[in-house]
Structure 1
Amino acid sequence: MSTGHAAYHHASKGWFSGHRVIGGPEAWLIWVLATTFVVWLFAIQTGYAVVSPDIQKTASLTIAQIGLAASIYTWVFALVQFFSGALLDRFGSRPLMAIAVAFVAVGAFLYAGTTNFATLAIAQTVLAIGSSFGFVGAGYLGGKWFGAAKYGLMFGLVQTFASLGSAIGQPVILAALDNLTWQELLVAFGGFGVLLVVLFFAFVRNPAPQPGEPVEAAHGNVFGEIFRDLGKSFADIRVDLSAVLAGASFGAMLAVGTLWGPRIMEARGAETGFATLLTALAWLGLAIGAPIVNVVSDRWHSRKWPAFWGLLLQALAIALVIYLPVEGKGFALVLMFAIGFFAGAHMLGFTIAGESVPGSLVGSASAIVNGVCFIIGGLLTSIPSALLPDEPTLADFQSALWLLPAVVVVGALAAIAISEKPRAAAAVDAA
């Protein structure tokens, strides 16, 4: 073989196969696409809160039906979430992730065409099915394309962009509605989804198997294999404890950042606009805290202790928001940011779960953690609601919201109970 031919052969091999390994240019392209998917679906979810009054008016729905539609999303998401990770483990990202994006795009178009409750309920169902693959799918792809050592960091960065999307989503949507109808806005969301589907089909896949990496053969009983994978993940006590710590932290963050933080500040006399700003600031804090906690964890050579201290400080910040009899906007801004920042510790739950199982079960373990986060978030939103009167005062909020810091403390105790796994062993298991 001539020198020129050999060089060409080497370059061709490097482009068509070398860039298909972890950490290469294709890894970053796929991670960016997966993260864009998460930010996009978060924007649609955020947008529901903004456009639901217009949907209610246009479709002649009651407020109870609007609330029921939101609950349908929660129920479907929580159910499908536990299966999404196992499906990714079994079939890989291609074509599952592209199909998930397509479901969200169809959900957006159904939203735009809402004329009655049935259409809205179907839209919520379709959207929830696709969305259940978003966050876990992005984490799964990050783990596959960047390796076990960077799994937690890449997952934290996904949470950063998702949180930033939540922080700016509502103001951007409100501004867009000055020039578009809500139907046009949702059609635009759906149109972007179509483009994203094409890009996912074209580019998103798992990296080529590494030398010596076992390739698991497909089996006939798909559901049996899924339940087997979930059972193996649930059987690991470190996965269970990591789900508790992550669920307690993110569940409380979700409850405070979307509902109770602004409400209790309004009860203290804050204006609605300022209360909305507090919500954005909490998500901004999470955007900054999510990747930092993994860096701190690596420097401390520990997962449990950064998680413990993060959750403990988050519980303290929530308790101060609820009970400290201090007025002032500066105080509220600092505390709401602190709640989100320290809630970044919940990302260690995903890291611990991913390091606790073989690489073939990373998706299942991540889905369990994210599912528990979602379930606890829903409970911490709904349970205090049932304890409050129709027109609650500050004292009523303080009587009902003790559950939030208490649950986060339980999560901190779960973090202490997690045994530290040697980093070398964790990397071998996750490979």
Structure 2
Amino acid sequence: MTSPRAWLIWIIGVFAYLVAVSQRTSFGVVGLEATERFHASAAEISFFTVLQLLVYAALQIPVGILVDRFGSRVMIAGGALLMGLGQLQLAFAENIPGGVLGRVLVGAGDAMTFIAVIRLIPIWFAPARVPLLTQLTGMSGQLGQLISVVPFAMILHLAGWTPAFLALAAMSALAVVLVLVLLQDRPPGHPAPEPAQGLRATGVTLSQAWRQPGTRLGLWSHFTVQFSGTVFAMTWGYPFLISAQGLDAAAVSALMTLYVATAIAAGPLMGSFVARHPLRRSTMVLLISAATAAAWAAVLLIPGRSPLWLLAGLVVVLAIGGPGSMIGFDFARTFNPAHRMGTATGIVNVGGFIAALIAIYLIGLVLDVLYATGFSQGELYGLDPFRIALSVQFLLLAGGAGGIIVIRRKVRKQMAVQGVVVPPLLASLAEQRRLSAERRRTP
């Protein structure tokens, strides 16, 4: 039976992750205000988030090593502290270098949180509970995005820039206190972690994880289905809906709420599909990618501004990409042994954020070029410039889908070679056949 202490540990971890997500997505709400405050161009504003994501992606594997060495408590508290300092810096920054420094700190703190929280679950809970709690952690954390698009945006518009970012810094301070006071790395009697690997052994593990085609299939899956929703939520969705589509703040908040609600609802359904059809995971990733491309094409090609129902459809498709990207982590789990699971997970997690930072920067760059050439007719965030700029996502979607198709062939070839077996995958299939047989025998 799971102890109440374990549930408290999980709740504190989820709260810390929720705070991290709210800090991560907060800058996506202030794009228009940041342009005025820092007297910045679209490319310069996009650089804030690009650098934040670059820091996040670059730290994934090092953070995994540090979590193993120092434990989740230290890493989660340290991450919340860095994010709080970053938002404090942003609250008083009045130029681009000061703002960029704030976002770098936020990105570094954010990078330390998710892996450390996920690591707590198998230590405090029975193995049968781990998959569901992992999904619930990711889903619950996404509620942090609602904090950035509803109360944070409200404070921003009513009280101004500095009070809004001070409120976020206060949330991080609360997370630091709760983690240091209430969170523990492991229950009493749990064996201490094994000594940390040396640099040489760590390099070997990293190389082996990368050479496994299943790891790279996970990376390309995460790359392809995760980035568009991240771009929309973190940077360009809010300006696109407000300035280009002419929606008011209430309508945008409603759409962002729909985004989070859809992601939460789709998570269990996606997990159920993966459990029932492990050999169709890459097909699901490709279907989500195609749906993303179709939704963007419908919104960008329709004459004039899009009706609200079409924008809502786009938001729903983008939200499904969040749970869909978790399929990439399932590839890492089933094609790697336990001793290099963390490393493989870090590799996969890099994919979507690399794609997102490329897309965010290119969209800003295209907007600036169109503005400089006079195409936008003096309107930096107009509908026509956004149609062209947001179309760069199709290049990444096509490239990612191509990568999935190519590496999938290598994975299937590996699985077909006699003697090359993927035990977790075969176990999943065996369990599926067993359950089917039991259902047939039930009168």
TM-score by length of 1: 0.77
Q: Using the alignment, how far apart are the partners of 1:279 and 1:69 within structure 2?
A: 21
2:182 matched to which residue of 1? 203
2:40 matched to which residue of 1? 62
Q: Using the alignment, how far apart are the partners of 2:7 and 2:426 within structure 1?
A: 26
Summarize the alignment of residues 5-20 of structure 1 with structure 2, pairs less than 5 Å apart.
Answer: none
Give the conservation status (yes or no) of the 8 Å contact 2:336–2:344.
Answer: yes
Q: Using the alignment, how far apart are the partners of 1:396 and 1:308 within structure 2?
A: 29
Which residue among 296, 313, 328 is the counterpart of 2:273?
296
1:354 matched to which residue of 2? 333
Which residue among 174, 183, 194 is the counterpart of 1:216?
194
**Compared CA separation, residues 69 and 189, structure 1 to 2 (3 A):** same
Q: Using the alignment, how far apart are the partners of 2:35 and 2:365 within structure 1?
A: 24
Which residue among 399, 402, 405 is the counterpart of 1:413?
405
Does 1:282 pair with 2:283?
Answer: no
Which residue among 2, 8, 31 is the counterpart of 2:10?
31
SS at match of 2:326: helix
Q: How many residues are treated as equivalent by the alignment?
A: 400
1:402 matched to which residue of 2? 394
Summarize the alignment of residues 15-414 of structure 1 with structure 2, pairs less than 5 Å apart.
Answer: 23-51=2-30, 61-63=39-41, 66-146=45-125, 149-167=128-146, 169-208=148-187, 216-218=194-196, 221=198, 223-224=199-200, 226-257=202-233, 271=247, 274=251, 277-298=254-275, 300=276, 302-323=277-298, 328-383=307-362, 386=365, 389-390=370-371, 391=376, 392=384, 396=388, 400-407=392-399, 409-410=401-402, 413=405
SS at match of 1:95: helix
- Superposed CA deviations along residues 96-153 of structure 1, whole A, max 9, x for unmatched, are 2222222222222222332544433332222221110122222222344335554443
SS at match of 1:191: helix
- State the AA in 2 paired with 1:371: V
TM-score by length of 2: 0.75
Gaps of 5+ in 2: 377-383, 416-421, 429-443
Q: Using the alignment, how far apart are the partners of 1:217 and 1:399 within structure 2?
A: 49
**Compared CA separation, residues 361 and 105, structure 1 to 2 (3 A):** farther
**Compared CA separation, residues 40 and 71, structure 1 to 2 (3 A):** same
2:436 matched to which residue of 1? none
Q: Using the alignment, how far apart are the partners of 1:173 and 1:207 within structure 2?
A: 34
Give the conservation status (yes or no) of the 8 Å contact 1:112–1:183.
Answer: yes
Q: Using the alignment, how far apart are the partners of 1:106 and 1:264 within structure 2?
A: 29
**Compared CA separation, residues 147 and 368, structure 1 to 2 (3 A):** farther
Give the stretch that moved more between structures: 397-406 or 24-33.
397-406
- State the AA in 1 paired with 2:99: L
Shift of 1:404: 4.6
**Compared CA separation, residues 176 and 111, structure 1 to 2 (3 A):** same
Gaps of 5+ in 1: 1-18
Give the conservation status (yes or no) of the 8 Å contact 1:242–1:415.
Answer: no
1:423 matched to which residue of 2? 424
Give the stretch that moved more between structures: 227-236 or 83-92.
227-236
Q: Using the alignment, how far apart are the partners of 1:414 and 1:164 within structure 2?
A: 35
Give the conservation status (yes or no) of the 8 Å contact 1:297–1:303.
Answer: yes
- Superposed CA deviations along residues 70-120 of structure 1, whole A, max 9, x for unmatched, are 333233222222311222234332422222222222222222332544433
Shift of 1:282: 3.4
SS at match of 2:150: helix
1:5 matched to which residue of 2? none
Give the stretch that moved more between structures: 357-366 or 240-249.
357-366
**Compared CA separation, residues 336 and 143, structure 1 to 2 (3 A):** same
**Compared CA separation, residues 424 and 305, structure 1 to 2 (3 A):** closer
Give the conservation status (yes or no) of the 8 Å contact 1:323–1:398.
Answer: no
CA-based RMSD of the aligned residues comes to 3.7
Give the conservation status (yes or no) of the 8 Å contact 1:72–1:124.
Answer: yes
Q: Using the alignment, how far apart are the partners of 1:175 and 1:424 within structure 2?
A: 47
Q: Using the alignment, how far apart are the partners of 2:262 and 2:244 within structure 1?
A: 22
